[in-house]
Each structure stands twice: as C-alpha cells, then as structure tokens.
Structure 1
Amino acid sequence: MTGISDSEKFETSRPRLLGLAYRMLGSMADAEDAVQDTFVKWQGTDKAKVSNPDAFLTTICTNRCLDFLKAAHRKRVDYVGPWIPEPLQTETGTNPEADLERAESLTTAFLLLLERLTPKERAAYLLREVFGKSYTEVAETLELSEPACRQLVSRAARFVRSQSARSIPTAEQQDTFLKAFLNAIETGSTDSLAGLLTESVQLRADSGGKAPSISRVIEGVEVVNFITRAISRLWDRDRMVELEINGVRGLAQLDGDRIVTAMTLGYTSDGIVDQIYVIRNPDKLERLLTPTQHDAGSGGLWQ
C-alpha cells in the first residue's frame, strides 16, 4: 500500500467495517459509532507497528462491537415489545446472486437469527462464513485459540442451517406476494394472499413503545385476520411506496415526507413468506428514505 495515506487506508476499509458492524449490532447508528471509534483508535496508533492494517482494523471494530452488544443486552431488558433490527433501504451494487452468502446475511430474518447466538459466536460466524476470514485471523481477532474459534463457527453454522432463515426469493416471487398483500388490504380478501403464507407465519411489530402497534408476536390464522381487520383499516395504499429493505422488497407508509411504518419479509427456501416484520419505532425509521449501498461482493455498506 505504498503511497497511500493512513486516512486512505482506513477509508478503503470503512464500507467493509460498517457492513460487519451493522450485521453484528442490527443498528446503523451503533455501527457508525463503532466504526468511528475504530478510526479514532487508528489515528492514535503507531502505523509502523501495524503489519496488516486490514486485520488490525477488523480486530478493533469487532471488539468494539462486542462492547456495544454488552450494553445492548442491558437495554433490551427494558425494551417495550418485540425488537427488530433497524431497517435499511438497500441498493445492491452488484447482482446479489453473485454472492448469496453476503446478500442473504443482510436480511432482517438473518439478523434476528444472529440475535440468538452468543456475541462471540456471532462475531466468529460473520468473520469466517460471511467475510471469509481464515481461522487464524478469526482467532487473532477474538483472542481465542483456533480450535475454540472452529467450535464457535461450527455451533453457529449448525444453528443457522437448522433455521433456514437465509433465503432471498426471486423477483417474481417477491412481486407476487406484494401484489397479493396490497390487494388484501385494499379489498379485504385474502384469497390470493393465504396461499403465499406458511401455516405458521409470524408477524411481529417493533414500536419501542413510541407508536401504536401490537405488543406480541402473532401467528398463523391470526396473521391473516390482522392483515384484513387492522392493517387494511390503518394503512392507506395511496401513501405506500415499495422499497428494497435489507435486500428484500418491502413496503413503507408515508406521512408527508416521513416514513411512519415499514414492512419487510422473511421467506422460506421455497419462496413462501414465513415472517412479516413491521417497524413503527420512529427512531429506526429516520434514515430509511436515504438509500444504503450494499456491495454483495464484499459485504460493504455506505451511504
């Protein structure tokens, strides 16, 4: 990297670090703070002692995220209702089919799955399986032995595979569902919608206690009833726009120039919807109108 300034070295890594931090934390605001803290640490480091800037920055950022997760755990105890990661309006820089591993790891369903891993399992799995780090690099980052890191990744990978929560359906399948959903809230008929939902489909809404919403997860037939009785009454189709949210097409409802509700989805490997996520917390919707670029080839994010 001869001839490249220290700032340029960091800026080259920033999108990848932000992509890692967001996947670990589920919050872009916290991810940006973690990356900024990494930059501050980088500025105060004797660069002559850093043989591998990329590995150094990854280690600092990862461990800063682990610190954030400890604080987040304490905050979640007092969180009102279900928690859903902060949604991002994504624009994929390359065809996601070119690297499904990274593209699918950005979906809301997958981010919620990561919440069920321990922080170090989450970090080890992302570093190894999503960002392609060697076990040696993962061990150095987490300050663990390679066998310990292999165990962390293995446990996490088994859990991820068992949940089948990594699917991005075809554009046609997504279009079919959204048309059926919009028709259901407009007409009250679920004839075309019901067949596109699994029998155990779940709907959860995140308001953080800051906006009206259901405070529990509903399932199965109750979801269909909720769509026709509540959503169709409260959502105005004329104020709804379609957005790509975390790599999957979803819907947002506007109030003037603000988004007040966003909906994204989780799909099975067969392209059937098994999760509906509704975000009402205004703090999580503030930046949704601003597109976030996602490079599925590197996992990087930038706005």
Structure 2
Amino acid sequence: MTNVSDSKVFENVRPRLMGLAYRMLGSMADAEDAVQDTFVKWQASDKASVLNAEAFLTTVCTNCCLDVLKSAHKKRVDYVGPWIPEPLQIGTETDPESDLTRAESLTTAFLLLLERLSPKERAAYLLREVFGKPYGEVAETLGISETACRQLVSRAGRHVRSPASRFVPPPDDQERMLTAFLAAVESGSVEDLGGLLADSVQFQADGGGKATAIGRVLEGPEMVGKYVARILGRLWAESRLEPGNHLQVMDINGLRGFALFNGTRAVTVLTLGYSEDGRIDRIYIVRNPEKLQRLAAPLRHDPASGAIWH
C-alpha cells in the first residue's frame, strides 16, 4: 500500500473505531486518544502481512481501549460523586426503531450498564452484540478461545439485560415526556412529577468535584420527586435567570434532552432514561465542565455500523 492508500483505509474505518472506543470508555477525549494511538500503530505496521485491515484496526483499537480502562480504574475510585459518561449531541442517521440494539447502545443508561462489566466482557459484548463481529473474530481480537469468548458475551449479556433502563421510546413520546418533565420542574409540583416517574426511578448528577451536584444517587419516586421539585426546581429557576443563559433542546446520545448554555458554553446537561411503559426511570445531570466541552458540536451516528463522526 502507498501512504495515501494507508491513510484512506484508516479514515474509512475511523468512524467505526470512534463508535467502539466511545462506547468502551464513556469519554470522547479518551476515545480520540485511543483512535489516534491506533492510527500511529497502523502507520508502523507491516501492511503486507495484514489480510483484513478493518479487523486489524479493530483489534488494535480494542486493545488500546483495554489499556485505558486498566489505568482508568483508580481515577473512577477517586472520582468525586457519581460518574456519568460524557454526554454528546448525537443523533442517528435513521429511525432509532429500525435498529434498536445499536440505538440503545449509545444511551447514557446503557453506557452505565457497561460499567458493571469487566473490560474484556465489555469489549466482547460490544464487538459481538453491537458491532456484529463473528465470535471467531472477537476471540482473535481478545486473544482467547472461541468458547471463552462465547462465555464472556453470555455473562455480559446477563448483566446488560438487567432491569436498568435501555428502552428508547419513539421521538414524539420523548418530546412529550421531556416537555412535561420540564414543566413540572419549573412549577415545583411534586404531584405533577409523580405521574411521570417510574417506581424504579433513580436520579444522579455528575459534578466531578468541579461543579455543584448532589453526591449520591437518589432512588424511588418519593425521594426523587421531592428533590427534583423542591431543590432542583429552585436551582434551575435561578440558573435560567442568570445573564447569558439559555435552554436548548437537543438529541443527546440518541435521546431527546436539554442543555443549559451560558453563551456558547454548556453548563448543565439533563437526559432521561425510560422504563418499558414509557415513564421516566433515570434522570441524569452532568455539570462537570470537563465533560461538556464537546456538547456544542453535533455528531452523527449510523445505527447500522455503530459509527460516530463529525
């Protein structure tokens, strides 16, 4: 291959590598680093010995992500308050209902489910169930037997199919619930919120020690409803009145959510997760400024391939 064709091959695969790395790591900055490391290793590789460029690049990227996850463990232990994946303004190229597995695999709820898995379980599950790679190829990527690979995917699947929300309602239902939720927050009405929340509802906020946020996960409609209506509602009203602040509804990780901006800088992002009966069972707020730097730049997602690109 020439240098030009080498680069072209990599650029053709880059969006899928980015989709894999972001799902693996929950951080766009870390995903970009992993993909860049993959490119460096691709440039240094013996192209004549590479039979399948995409499989080779996927293997290299996966191993880069596994290395990052090893070093990330201590950071997560020392993290201040609940950790939530970096939110991205990202929509799908097609109707999410046309490929629910991959559409769901970008939601905040699903990315948090992946946190329950070991790094190799996470990689095996994503490569097989989200990116559709054959078991043999996944096993080769991870350097394990096909039998062991099947066991990893099966074990990961049992965790991922837990009661925690992965449901993606139709866009119109998302819009309706988001509007009703915002109205209830602004009214400060616990009663209005009560009809929107599932019995399994949880609330968590990520300030990372760099912005004000509640430091524990709240559970149950009574506790969540009171906090959202009485405390979040007051804080939200105060924030809306600050000079330069404005609210913007957008697609965040494939679901409708909204962000509070100060000028062009995002300061707070809220997304929801849903139970299968369409009620709200997850409320996520991200205020850590390090996780909001990319929110203003829209990304695209192709559910058929899992690719993410600008």
TM-score (norm 2): 0.94
Q: What amino acid sits opposite 1:30 in the alignment?
A: D
Aligned to 1:294: 301
Shift of 1:155: 0.7
Mind listing any 5+ residue stretches in structure 1 that lack a counterpart? none
Match of 1:247 in 2: 254
Deviations 1:216-240 (A, max 9, x none): 1112212111111112111145722
Shift of 1:119: 0.5
* Displacement of 1:257: 1.9
Partner of 2:236: 235
Q: 1:127-172: per-residue Cα shift (whole Å, max 9, x none)?
A: 0000000011001000000000000001111222233532111123
Residues 167, 284 of structure 1: alpha-carbon distance in 2 compared, 3 angstrom cutoff: same
Q: Which moved more, 1:22-31 or 1:180-189?
A: 180-189
- Determine helix, strand or coil for the equivalent of 1:235: helix
Q: What is the letter of the counterpart of residue 193 of structure 2? A: L
2:89–2:298 Cα contact (<8 Å) kept: yes
Distance of 1:197 and 1:8 partners within structure 2: 48
Cα distance, 1:256 vs structure 2: 2.1
Partner residue, 2:143: 143
Q: How far apart in 2 are the matches of 1:91 and 1:175? A: 14
Deviations 1:64-88 (A, max 9, x none): 0000000110111110000000000
C-alpha change, 1:164 and 1:275, in structure 2 (3 Å) is closer
- Please report how far the alpha carbon of residue 40 of structure 1 lies from its aligned counterpart in structure 2 after TM superposition: 0.3
* Identity across the alignment (%): 65
AA matched with 1:188: G
SS at match of 1:211: coil
Q: Tell me, yes or no, if the aligned pair for 2:188 and 2:233 is still in contact at 8 Å.
A: yes
Q: Secondary structure of 2:161's match?
A: helix
Deviating more after overlay: 233-242 vs 211-220: 233-242
Q: Which stretch of the first structure deviates more once superposed, 236-245 or 143-152?
A: 236-245
Amino acid at match of 1:262: V
Secondary structure at the counterpart of residue 163 of structure 1: coil
Which stretches of structure 1, 4 residues or more, deviate above 4 A after TM superposition?
1-4
Tell me which residue corresponds to 2:21.
21
Q: How many residues align?
A: 303
Indicate how the Cα distance of structure 1 residues 3 and 30 shifts in structure 2: closer, same or farther if over 3 A, else same.
closer
Query: 2:112, 2:61 → 1: CA distance?
Result: 21
TM-score by length of 1: 0.96
What corresponds to 2:277 in structure 1? 270
Q: 1:211 to 1:17 in 2, by over 3 A?
A: same
* Cross-structure match for 1:35: 35
1:183 Cα offset (Å): 1.2
Aligned-CA RMSD value = 1.7
List per-residue Cα deviations over 1:260-293 (Å, max 9, x = no partner): 1001111112211111000010000011011111
